[in-house]
Amino acid sequence: MNNLLKNLFSSFNKLKDGSGDSAIGVDIGSSAIKIVEIKKRGNKAVLETYGAIALGPYADLEAGQVTNLPVEKVILALKEVLRQSDASGNSLALSIPVQSSLIFTIELPAKLGEEQIASIIPIEARKYIPVPITEVSIDYFKIPKKESSFEEMNAVTDVPKKEEEKMNVLVVTTQNDAVARYRSIVSGCNLKVSFFEIEIFSSIRSNFEHELSPVLLIDFGALHTKLSMVEFGMVQSHHTINRGGSSISDSISKSLSISFSEAEKMKKNFGLFGSPTEKSLADIIKVHIDYIFSETNNVLLEYEKKNKRIISKVILTGGGSLLKGLKEMAINNFQAEVEIGNPFSKVTAPAFLEKVLLAMGPEFAVALGLALRKLQ
């Protein structure tokens, strides 16, 4: 974390009385760790500090490159970012990567009781889970029924009456090994775990306001791009595209015969607007974005056909959403409102940091979403 920002937050904190509940959200990604600490003062969530650290150097790689570090190296990195950001809490909320989980929806008779649902879910889940059921933890949520008046306004076609007799249940499974790995990391830092949460749920919490119509959340990560169809604040479906920001930088590096760090710098400085010295830069980036949007369009089409619902808004989040020109390209691609997420709008922070937090917000969406849940 920038030392200037660290000092500014330190001064800001001295103005406070030190009371209130603290929450630290930790997002351990494939290329970086991001942390956010917030505190509850009255009815407000106040930003205490935030920080990020690249994991590449811990694997003798460059910042921004994807890593697969052993637990010991991740512990060192987490300790360092907590130290640099001057985080004071001793209990962390951690995200679980979506690739260590499985999210799907099943349809069940609406008349089933809770005990019946709980016994049926593991049996049904076996059809979707590619590993033994003993290797995962399962949770589920009943998706609320849509109001008829809302359906009439937004449905593409009439909803069959038989749907009134059914209910959709969102099933979430998490690999036990992944949870054990993160417990080891936190334990290695001599800290405690408050809870674990799959990253997309944290991102939804920090990016959404009170949207009722269907919304597509596109999370541009370093390794993957995650698509979440959300309605009434509930995930309706989820899809992962195996391409992200690191893939783009790799292509730039190889195509222009420059280092990964130089490629990262060019990507951030010019993006889809293109470089005056490297005319091919925009085209290299566009190949990847075209692929991601093409896959997204296929997912959208399938969702709209199956659910007879039209997406009203697209929210871009994750570090890759800050790519220059991406929003404009998204507007041209999607027949919907497009906006870049602004997670830090959910917390109170010094006014002079407004522009900085607006620009960096999408990178910290998951960490902030975790912290917000902990305060709730």
What pLDDT does residue 147 have?
54
DSSP strand pairing (215-220 vs 136-142): unpaired
Percentage, residues of the chain above pLDDT 70? 89
Task: Tell me the residue type at 187.
Answer: S
Tokens of 298: 């296929």
Q: What SS3 state is found at 185?
A: helix
In 3D space, the residue among 168, 160, 156 whose CA is nearest the CA of residue 300 turns out to be 156
Domain 3-97+178-203+343-375 has CATH 3.30.420.40: yes
DSSP strand pairing (32-41 vs 44-54): antiparallel
Task: Tell me the residue type at 128.
Answer: Y
Could you read off the pLDDT of 354-367 as tens digits, one per residue?
Answer: 999 999 999 999 99
DSSP strand pairing (91-96 vs 22-28): parallel
Contact 202, 228 (CB under 8 A): no
What pLDDT does residue 113 have?
87
What pLDDT does residue 148 have?
44
- DSSP run (H or E) holding 68: none
β-bridge mates for residue 224, sequence order: none
In 3D space, the residue among 142, 141, 124 whose CA is nearest the CA of residue 133 turns out to be 124
Contact 127, 120 (CB under 8 A): no
Task: Tell me the residue type at 268.
Answer: K
β-bridge mates for residue 22, sequence order: 39
- DSSP run (H or E) holding 315: strand 313-317
Could you read off the pLDDT of 3-12 as tens digits, one per residue?
Answer: 333 333 333 3
Tokens of 354: 């407004």
pTM for this model (two decimals): 0.86
Q: At what angle do helices 260-270 and 245-256 cross, to 10 degrees?
A: 110
In 3D space, the residue among 1, 2, 4, 49 whose CA is nearest the CA of residue 22 turns out to be 49
What pLDDT does residue 201 have?
93
CA 45 to chain centre: 20
In 3D space, the residue among 245, 229, 217, 174 whose CA is nearest the CA of residue 369 turns out to be 217
Spans of the chain below 50 pLDDT:
1-19, 148-155, 162-163
What pLDDT does residue 26 have?
97
What pLDDT does residue 17 have?
37
Q: In sequence order, what are the residues at sequence separation of 6 or more whose Cβ sits closer than 8 angstroms to the Cβ of residue 117?
A: 108, 140, 142, 169
